[in-house]
Amino acid sequence: MSRLTQRLGALLHLIGLFALLHLTPAHSFDDSAALKGVTQGQGVFLLDIAEPQKLDLYLKIIQGTHAGMLKQGVKPDFVLVYIGPSVRFISSHPEDELAMEHEETLASIQQSIQALADLGVRQEVCTIANRVFQVDDASIPPAMTVVADGFVSLIGWQSQGYHLVPIY
């Protein structure tokens, strides 16, 4: 893929994302039926994504979900658990080819990781996935926690009342 094609694709992606996140619909929608009586929203997001652009998009959507809950009077309490190929895109030292092909997207992912951490969102990374995809545990950003097993973590969070939001 040529550098120009990649940049055009990234620009179109950003324009689409901006429109998705910032356009106001003609009607004012809310989630009042689902949130009736809810004061805190506990969600554990399972991130198992094989494409960096898709991970970038969903991290931004999760930020929007966090903001949407706050806007509707619900305190969000989110945990993100990264498993599978997702770990390739969160490393501070990605593979050379991946870094060359997706430089801007990987930088955007790093920004989202920090933005989510700044919101108080816990982010966990499965060390088993790191081993499988040859990602050094030490290359995981400080805003994240490496855990022994992402599946065990998911089970634990669900046992504590967090609701699973799988993203593939």
Each residue's pLDDT tens digit, 57-114? 999 999 999 999 999 999 999 999 999 999 999 999 999 999 999 999 999 999 999 9
Q: Summarize pLDDT for 121-138 with one digit per residue, the tens.
A: 999 999 999 999 999 999
Nearest partner of 122 among 163, 82, 85, judged by Cα:
82
pTM, two decimal places = 0.85
User: What domains, with CATH codes, occur in the chain?
Assistant: 40-167 (3.40.1260.10)
